[in-house]
Chain A
Amino acid sequence: MLTILALASVILLGIVPQQSEGIVIYTGWERHALVGSDIRLSCSFFSWRWTSDDVTFSWSYRSDGARDAISIFHYTGGAPYVDNKGPFRDRLEFVGNPGRRDGSILLKNLDYGDNGTFTCDAKNPPDIVGRASSVRLLVFEKVPIQAGVITGSIIGAVLGLLLLIVVIYYFMRFLVARRVFNLSVSKHGKKGKGKEGSQQRQGPTLSIGDPSKLKAAASEKKKQESRKDKK
Protein backbone atom coordinates (compact mmCIF):
# COMPACT_ATOMS: atom_id res chain seq x y z
CA MET A 1 0.00 0.00 0.00
CA LEU A 2 2.72 2.42 1.01
CA THR A 3 4.85 1.51 -2.00
CA ILE A 4 1.92 2.13 -4.33
CA LEU A 5 1.39 5.52 -2.69
CA ALA A 6 5.08 6.38 -3.04
CA LEU A 7 5.16 5.33 -6.69
CA ALA A 8 2.02 7.32 -7.45
CA SER A 9 3.40 10.47 -5.80
CA VAL A 10 6.67 10.16 -7.71
CA ILE A 11 4.86 9.76 -11.00
CA LEU A 12 2.51 12.66 -10.27
CA LEU A 13 5.37 14.90 -9.20
CA GLY A 14 7.21 13.81 -12.29
CA ILE A 15 4.44 14.70 -14.70
CA VAL A 16 3.34 18.05 -13.29
CA PRO A 17 6.63 19.95 -13.58
CA GLN A 18 7.16 18.61 -17.09
CA GLN A 19 4.16 20.49 -18.25
CA SER A 20 5.22 23.73 -16.62
CA GLU A 21 8.99 23.77 -17.12
CA GLY A 22 9.41 23.80 -20.85
CA ILE A 23 12.62 23.57 -22.75
CA VAL A 24 15.63 25.66 -21.76
CA ILE A 25 18.17 26.51 -24.43
CA TYR A 26 21.81 27.34 -23.73
CA THR A 27 24.19 29.15 -25.98
CA GLY A 28 27.10 31.36 -25.04
CA TRP A 29 26.61 35.04 -24.33
CA GLU A 30 29.32 36.53 -26.47
CA ARG A 31 32.04 35.07 -28.68
CA HIS A 32 35.21 36.73 -29.87
CA ALA A 33 37.07 35.57 -32.94
CA LEU A 34 39.84 36.70 -35.25
CA VAL A 35 39.29 37.58 -38.89
CA GLY A 36 39.76 34.55 -41.08
CA SER A 37 39.42 32.03 -38.29
CA ASP A 38 36.71 29.47 -37.65
CA ILE A 39 34.36 29.49 -34.72
CA ARG A 40 32.03 26.92 -33.25
CA LEU A 41 28.76 28.28 -31.90
CA SER A 42 27.38 25.86 -29.39
CA CYS A 43 23.73 25.32 -28.62
CA SER A 44 22.26 22.77 -26.29
CA PHE A 45 19.06 22.43 -24.38
CA PHE A 46 17.57 21.02 -21.22
CA SER A 47 14.25 19.25 -21.28
CA TRP A 48 12.51 16.91 -18.86
CA ARG A 49 11.43 14.67 -21.70
CA TRP A 50 13.58 12.12 -23.40
CA THR A 51 15.21 13.36 -26.59
CA SER A 52 12.64 12.64 -29.24
CA ASP A 53 13.32 11.59 -32.82
CA ASP A 54 11.60 14.73 -34.04
CA VAL A 55 13.97 17.09 -32.22
CA THR A 56 14.68 20.25 -34.25
CA PHE A 57 17.37 22.91 -34.12
CA SER A 58 17.24 26.26 -35.91
CA TRP A 59 19.83 28.95 -36.14
CA SER A 60 19.08 32.43 -37.37
CA TYR A 61 21.37 35.39 -37.87
CA ARG A 62 20.77 39.10 -37.47
CA SER A 63 23.56 41.29 -38.70
CA ASP A 64 24.59 44.29 -36.58
CA GLY A 65 23.10 46.82 -38.93
CA ALA A 66 20.06 44.84 -40.01
CA ARG A 67 16.58 44.92 -38.57
CA ASP A 68 15.46 41.37 -39.28
CA ALA A 69 16.97 37.98 -38.77
CA ILE A 70 17.38 35.41 -41.51
CA SER A 71 17.36 31.71 -40.99
CA ILE A 72 20.68 30.02 -41.74
CA PHE A 73 20.38 26.50 -40.41
CA HIS A 74 17.66 24.00 -39.68
CA TYR A 75 17.84 20.43 -38.46
CA THR A 76 14.70 18.36 -38.67
CA GLY A 77 13.64 14.81 -39.33
CA GLY A 78 17.15 13.58 -38.67
CA ALA A 79 18.80 15.68 -41.39
CA PRO A 80 20.64 19.05 -41.24
CA TYR A 81 19.91 21.78 -43.79
CA VAL A 82 22.61 24.41 -44.08
CA ASP A 83 22.55 27.83 -45.67
CA ASN A 84 23.03 27.59 -49.44
CA LYS A 85 21.84 31.01 -50.54
CA GLY A 86 22.53 33.46 -47.74
CA PRO A 87 25.64 35.10 -46.27
CA PHE A 88 27.03 31.84 -44.97
CA ARG A 89 26.74 29.60 -48.02
CA ASP A 90 29.64 27.15 -48.18
CA ARG A 91 30.88 28.46 -44.84
CA LEU A 92 28.52 26.72 -42.49
CA GLU A 93 28.85 23.21 -41.20
CA PHE A 94 26.80 21.24 -38.73
CA VAL A 95 29.01 19.75 -36.01
CA GLY A 96 26.42 18.95 -33.41
CA ASN A 97 24.97 15.71 -32.15
CA PRO A 98 21.19 15.92 -31.83
CA GLY A 99 21.03 12.63 -30.02
CA ARG A 100 23.07 14.27 -27.27
CA ARG A 101 21.09 17.49 -27.45
CA ASP A 102 23.93 19.36 -29.13
CA GLY A 103 23.04 21.61 -32.03
CA SER A 104 26.34 23.38 -32.60
CA ILE A 105 27.40 24.85 -35.91
CA LEU A 106 30.81 25.73 -37.29
CA LEU A 107 31.37 29.01 -39.12
CA LYS A 108 34.45 29.14 -41.29
CA ASN A 109 36.60 31.97 -42.57
CA LEU A 110 35.05 34.78 -40.60
CA ASP A 111 34.90 38.31 -41.84
CA TYR A 112 33.96 41.69 -40.33
CA GLY A 113 30.55 41.42 -41.96
CA ASP A 114 29.76 38.44 -39.75
CA ASN A 115 29.43 40.61 -36.67
CA GLY A 116 25.97 40.12 -35.29
CA THR A 117 23.62 38.07 -33.19
CA PHE A 118 23.05 34.35 -33.74
CA THR A 119 19.90 32.87 -32.25
CA CYS A 120 19.39 29.17 -31.59
CA ASP A 121 15.95 27.72 -31.16
CA ALA A 122 15.47 24.06 -30.29
CA LYS A 123 12.32 22.02 -29.95
CA ASN A 124 11.95 18.63 -28.38
CA PRO A 125 8.39 17.46 -29.12
CA PRO A 126 6.16 17.44 -27.12
CA ASP A 127 8.27 19.89 -25.13
CA ILE A 128 8.14 22.91 -27.37
CA VAL A 129 7.54 25.86 -25.09
CA GLY A 130 10.76 27.72 -24.52
CA ARG A 131 12.72 30.86 -25.24
CA ALA A 132 15.34 30.99 -27.93
CA SER A 133 18.82 31.94 -26.82
CA SER A 134 21.20 34.33 -28.56
CA VAL A 135 24.95 34.63 -28.80
CA ARG A 136 26.73 37.70 -30.05
CA LEU A 137 29.68 37.30 -32.38
CA LEU A 138 32.45 39.89 -32.41
CA VAL A 139 35.14 39.65 -35.05
CA PHE A 140 38.45 41.35 -34.32
CA GLU A 141 41.62 41.90 -36.18
CA LYS A 142 43.49 41.14 -32.99
CA VAL A 143 41.87 39.71 -29.91
CA PRO A 144 42.02 42.39 -27.23
CA ILE A 145 43.08 41.62 -23.73
CA GLN A 146 40.06 41.36 -21.52
CA ALA A 147 39.36 44.09 -19.04
CA GLY A 148 41.04 43.57 -15.77
CA VAL A 149 43.36 40.73 -16.71
CA ILE A 150 46.52 42.79 -16.53
CA THR A 151 45.22 44.78 -13.57
CA GLY A 152 44.48 41.66 -11.61
CA SER A 153 47.73 39.99 -12.51
CA ILE A 154 49.85 42.99 -11.48
CA ILE A 155 48.04 43.32 -8.17
CA GLY A 156 48.22 39.59 -7.55
CA ALA A 157 51.91 39.43 -8.38
CA VAL A 158 52.87 42.29 -6.09
CA LEU A 159 50.79 41.06 -3.17
CA GLY A 160 52.08 37.54 -3.72
CA LEU A 161 55.64 38.83 -3.65
CA LEU A 162 54.89 40.70 -0.43
CA LEU A 163 53.46 37.58 1.14
CA LEU A 164 56.47 35.59 0.01
CA ILE A 165 58.87 38.08 1.55
CA VAL A 166 56.96 38.02 4.85
CA VAL A 167 56.90 34.23 4.90
CA ILE A 168 60.61 34.00 4.12
CA TYR A 169 61.39 36.53 6.83
CA TYR A 170 59.48 34.63 9.48
CA PHE A 171 60.89 31.34 8.26
CA MET A 172 64.43 32.67 8.60
CA ARG A 173 63.64 33.85 12.10
CA PHE A 174 62.23 30.46 12.92
CA LEU A 175 65.37 28.80 11.59
CA VAL A 176 67.58 31.08 13.63
CA ALA A 177 65.57 30.32 16.75
CA ARG A 178 65.87 26.61 16.10
CA ARG A 179 69.63 26.89 15.63
CA VAL A 180 69.88 28.66 18.97
CA PHE A 181 68.12 25.79 20.66
CA ASN A 182 70.16 23.16 18.81
CA LEU A 183 73.43 24.83 19.63
CA SER A 184 72.61 25.17 23.29
CA VAL A 185 71.74 21.47 23.45
CA SER A 186 74.94 20.31 21.79
CA LYS A 187 77.10 22.81 23.71
CA HIS A 188 79.18 23.64 20.59
CA GLY A 189 78.85 27.39 20.47
CA LYS A 190 81.07 28.26 17.53
CA LYS A 191 79.76 26.32 14.55
CA GLY A 192 77.13 27.60 12.11
CA LYS A 193 76.95 30.76 10.01
CA GLY A 194 79.20 33.58 10.96
CA LYS A 195 76.45 35.99 11.92
CA GLU A 196 74.74 33.54 14.19
CA GLY A 197 77.98 32.21 15.58
CA SER A 198 79.12 35.61 16.76
CA GLN A 199 75.78 36.20 18.42
CA GLN A 200 75.71 32.81 20.05
CA ARG A 201 78.81 33.58 21.99
CA GLN A 202 76.84 35.71 24.37
CA GLY A 203 74.48 33.05 25.55
CA PRO A 204 74.49 29.37 25.48
CA THR A 205 77.51 27.74 26.89
CA LEU A 206 75.13 26.81 29.65
CA SER A 207 73.10 23.73 30.24
CA ILE A 208 69.43 23.52 29.51
CA GLY A 209 67.30 25.03 32.19
CA ASP A 210 65.42 28.19 32.92
CA PRO A 211 68.35 30.60 33.27
CA SER A 212 69.72 29.64 29.85
CA LYS A 213 66.32 30.11 28.21
CA LEU A 214 65.99 33.54 29.76
CA LYS A 215 69.46 34.51 28.62
CA ALA A 216 68.82 33.21 25.10
CA ALA A 217 65.58 35.19 24.96
CA ALA A 218 67.37 38.31 26.15
CA SER A 219 70.12 37.93 23.58
CA GLU A 220 67.45 37.42 20.89
CA LYS A 221 65.76 40.65 21.95
CA LYS A 222 69.04 42.53 21.92
CA LYS A 223 69.68 41.13 18.44
CA GLN A 224 66.31 42.43 17.21
CA GLU A 225 66.81 45.84 18.71
CA SER A 226 70.30 46.21 17.30
CA ARG A 227 68.98 45.19 13.87
CA LYS A 228 66.17 47.73 14.11
CA ASP A 229 68.56 50.47 15.24
CA LYS A 230 70.97 49.64 12.47
CA LYS A 231 68.18 50.10 9.96
Chain B
Amino acid sequence: MNSFSASSDKMLLLLLGIVILHAAALVLLFVSTIVSAWTTGPTSSSDLWNNCSTTDVGYHCEAANTGEWIQAVQALMILSIIFSFISLFLFFCQLFTLQKGGRFFVTGVFQILASLFVMSGAVIYTVMSPNWVPPSEAFGWAYILAWVAFPLALISGLIYVILRKRE
Protein backbone atom coordinates (compact mmCIF):
# COMPACT_ATOMS: atom_id res chain seq x y z
CA MET B 1 0.00 0.00 0.00
CA ASN B 2 2.74 2.42 1.00
CA SER B 3 4.87 1.63 -2.03
CA PHE B 4 1.85 1.97 -4.29
CA SER B 5 0.98 5.45 -3.00
CA ALA B 6 4.66 6.40 -3.13
CA SER B 7 4.95 5.34 -6.75
CA SER B 8 1.75 7.15 -7.67
CA ASP B 9 3.12 10.25 -5.95
CA LYS B 10 6.29 9.84 -7.95
CA MET B 11 4.20 9.52 -11.09
CA LEU B 12 2.36 12.71 -10.19
CA LEU B 13 5.60 14.55 -9.57
CA LEU B 14 7.00 13.31 -12.84
CA LEU B 15 3.87 14.43 -14.63
CA LEU B 16 4.02 17.82 -13.00
CA GLY B 17 7.68 18.17 -13.89
CA ILE B 18 7.04 17.34 -17.51
CA VAL B 19 4.16 19.78 -17.76
CA ILE B 20 6.24 22.52 -16.14
CA LEU B 21 9.07 21.88 -18.58
CA HIS B 22 6.66 22.08 -21.47
CA ALA B 23 5.07 25.25 -20.15
CA ALA B 24 8.49 26.81 -19.59
CA ALA B 25 9.49 26.14 -23.18
CA LEU B 26 6.18 27.61 -24.34
CA VAL B 27 6.60 30.75 -22.26
CA LEU B 28 10.13 31.24 -23.54
CA LEU B 29 8.87 30.93 -27.09
CA PHE B 30 6.17 33.50 -26.44
CA VAL B 31 8.45 36.03 -24.82
CA SER B 32 11.11 35.60 -27.43
CA THR B 33 8.68 36.17 -30.27
CA ILE B 34 6.99 39.21 -28.82
CA VAL B 35 9.67 41.24 -27.08
CA SER B 36 11.60 43.73 -29.12
CA ALA B 37 15.13 42.72 -28.24
CA TRP B 38 16.59 40.43 -30.88
CA THR B 39 19.40 42.82 -31.65
CA THR B 40 20.32 45.76 -29.50
CA GLY B 41 22.65 48.61 -29.97
CA PRO B 42 23.38 51.75 -27.98
CA THR B 43 20.56 53.67 -29.64
CA SER B 44 18.30 51.12 -31.22
CA SER B 45 16.71 47.79 -30.69
CA SER B 46 14.98 45.68 -33.21
CA ASP B 47 13.19 42.41 -33.38
CA LEU B 48 11.06 40.44 -35.73
CA TRP B 49 8.34 43.04 -35.93
CA ASN B 50 9.86 46.49 -35.52
CA ASN B 51 13.00 48.44 -35.99
CA CYS B 52 13.08 50.96 -33.18
CA SER B 53 15.75 53.60 -32.88
CA THR B 54 16.43 56.83 -31.07
CA THR B 55 17.60 59.48 -33.45
CA ASP B 56 17.84 63.22 -32.85
CA VAL B 57 14.17 63.45 -33.78
CA GLY B 58 13.19 61.07 -31.02
CA TYR B 59 12.31 57.47 -30.45
CA HIS B 60 10.40 56.00 -33.35
CA CYS B 61 9.71 52.58 -34.73
CA GLU B 62 9.23 51.49 -38.26
CA ALA B 63 7.58 48.26 -39.18
CA ALA B 64 9.59 45.35 -40.42
CA ASN B 65 7.92 44.82 -43.72
CA THR B 66 10.97 44.66 -45.90
CA GLY B 67 12.63 41.42 -46.65
CA GLU B 68 11.35 37.98 -47.27
CA TRP B 69 13.58 36.32 -44.70
CA ILE B 70 12.37 38.27 -41.72
CA GLN B 71 8.84 37.23 -42.60
CA ALA B 72 9.98 33.63 -42.77
CA VAL B 73 11.46 33.99 -39.28
CA GLN B 74 8.21 35.50 -38.04
CA ALA B 75 6.25 32.63 -39.51
CA LEU B 76 8.55 29.97 -38.03
CA MET B 77 8.39 31.48 -34.55
CA ILE B 78 4.62 31.70 -34.66
CA LEU B 79 4.38 28.15 -35.96
CA SER B 80 6.58 26.90 -33.13
CA ILE B 81 4.27 28.53 -30.59
CA ILE B 82 1.22 27.02 -32.27
CA PHE B 83 2.74 23.55 -32.38
CA SER B 84 3.83 23.75 -28.78
CA PHE B 85 0.30 24.67 -27.78
CA ILE B 86 -1.13 21.83 -29.81
CA SER B 87 1.37 19.50 -28.19
CA LEU B 88 0.31 20.58 -24.69
CA PHE B 89 -3.33 20.09 -25.60
CA LEU B 90 -2.62 16.66 -27.09
CA PHE B 91 -0.68 15.71 -23.97
CA PHE B 92 -3.72 16.22 -21.81
CA CYS B 93 -5.91 14.46 -24.37
CA GLN B 94 -3.62 11.47 -24.51
CA LEU B 95 -3.24 11.43 -20.74
CA PHE B 96 -6.87 10.48 -20.42
CA THR B 97 -7.43 8.43 -23.55
CA LEU B 98 -4.19 6.51 -24.04
CA GLN B 99 -4.11 2.85 -23.11
CA LYS B 100 -1.78 1.50 -20.49
CA GLY B 101 1.74 1.11 -21.79
CA GLY B 102 1.12 3.44 -24.68
CA ARG B 103 3.50 6.19 -25.66
CA PHE B 104 2.78 9.88 -25.95
CA PHE B 105 4.07 9.72 -29.46
CA VAL B 106 1.93 12.39 -31.14
CA THR B 107 2.57 14.84 -28.30
CA GLY B 108 6.29 14.30 -28.61
CA VAL B 109 6.23 14.70 -32.38
CA PHE B 110 4.50 18.06 -32.16
CA GLN B 111 6.88 19.32 -29.50
CA ILE B 112 9.90 18.19 -31.50
CA LEU B 113 8.49 19.90 -34.57
CA ALA B 114 8.06 23.08 -32.50
CA SER B 115 11.69 22.90 -31.42
CA LEU B 116 12.81 22.39 -35.02
CA PHE B 117 10.82 25.42 -36.11
CA VAL B 118 12.34 27.66 -33.47
CA MET B 119 15.80 26.38 -34.35
CA SER B 120 15.40 27.08 -38.04
CA GLY B 121 13.94 30.49 -37.26
CA ALA B 122 16.89 31.40 -35.07
CA VAL B 123 19.35 30.04 -37.64
CA ILE B 124 17.79 32.03 -40.47
CA TYR B 125 17.84 35.14 -38.30
CA THR B 126 21.48 34.62 -37.46
CA VAL B 127 22.48 34.13 -41.05
CA MET B 128 20.40 36.95 -42.48
CA SER B 129 20.82 39.55 -39.77
CA PRO B 130 23.69 41.43 -41.44
CA ASN B 131 21.18 42.36 -44.14
CA TRP B 132 18.65 43.37 -41.59
CA VAL B 133 20.50 45.38 -38.96
CA PRO B 134 23.88 47.13 -39.02
CA PRO B 135 26.71 44.81 -38.01
CA SER B 136 27.77 47.05 -35.14
CA GLU B 137 24.88 45.83 -33.04
CA ALA B 138 24.87 42.84 -30.77
CA PHE B 139 22.28 40.13 -30.41
CA GLY B 140 19.75 40.82 -27.71
CA TRP B 141 18.32 38.68 -24.97
CA ALA B 142 15.13 37.73 -26.78
CA TYR B 143 17.33 36.12 -29.42
CA ILE B 144 19.14 34.18 -26.70
CA LEU B 145 15.79 33.10 -25.27
CA ALA B 146 14.91 31.62 -28.62
CA TRP B 147 18.10 29.60 -28.61
CA VAL B 148 17.39 28.44 -25.05
CA ALA B 149 13.84 27.48 -25.91
CA PHE B 150 15.07 25.18 -28.68
CA PRO B 151 16.86 22.57 -26.49
CA LEU B 152 14.16 22.80 -23.82
CA ALA B 153 11.48 22.02 -26.34
CA LEU B 154 13.59 19.29 -27.90
CA ILE B 155 14.23 17.59 -24.57
CA SER B 156 10.59 17.91 -23.64
CA GLY B 157 9.56 16.33 -26.91
CA LEU B 158 12.02 13.47 -26.54
CA ILE B 159 10.74 12.80 -23.02
CA TYR B 160 7.24 12.50 -24.41
CA VAL B 161 8.33 10.07 -27.06
CA ILE B 162 10.13 7.87 -24.55
CA LEU B 163 7.55 8.13 -21.78
CA ARG B 164 5.16 5.27 -21.37
CA LYS B 165 1.83 5.64 -19.75
CA ARG B 166 1.43 3.71 -16.57
CA GLU B 167 -1.52 3.53 -14.27
Contact = CB atoms under 8 A, between A and B. Distances in A.
Chain B associates with chain A: yes
Interface in B99-122: 99, 101-103, 105
Contacts of B63: 147
Contact of B102 (A151, A152, A154, A225): A225
Nearest to A147: B65
A152 B99 CA distance: 38
A79 interface: no
**For the complex, would chain B's binding face be called helix, strand, loop or mixed by DSSP majority?**
helix
A145 B68 CA distance: 8
B52 to A, nearest CB: 16
B66 interface: yes
B76 A148 contact: no
A2 interface: no
Nearest to A157: B75
B71 A150 contact: yes
Interface residues of A, number: 18
A66 interface: no
Contacts, number: 47
B95 interface: no
A164 to B, nearest CB: 15
**Which residue among A144, A146, A148, A158 has the maximum number of chain B CB atoms within 10 Å of its CB?**
A158
Q: Interface SS of chain A: helix, strand, loop or mixed?
A: helix
A195 interface: no
A85 B78 CA distance: 53
Most buried by A among B63, B64, B78: B78
A142 to B, nearest CB: 11
Interface string A195-231: 0000000000000000000000000010001001101
A8 interface: no
A149 interface: yes
Minimum-distance CB pairs A-B, first 6: A147-B65, A154-B75, A150-B71, A151-B75, A151-B71, A151-B74
Interface of A: 144-152, 154-155, 158-159, 221, 225, 228-229, 231
Given A155-B79, A225-B101, 20 more contacts: A147-B64, A147-B65, A148-B71, A149-B71, A150-B72, A150-B75, A151-B72, A151-B74, A151-B78, A152-B75, A154-B75, A154-B76, A154-B79, A155-B78, A155-B82, A225-B99, A225-B102, A228-B99, A229-B102, A231-B105
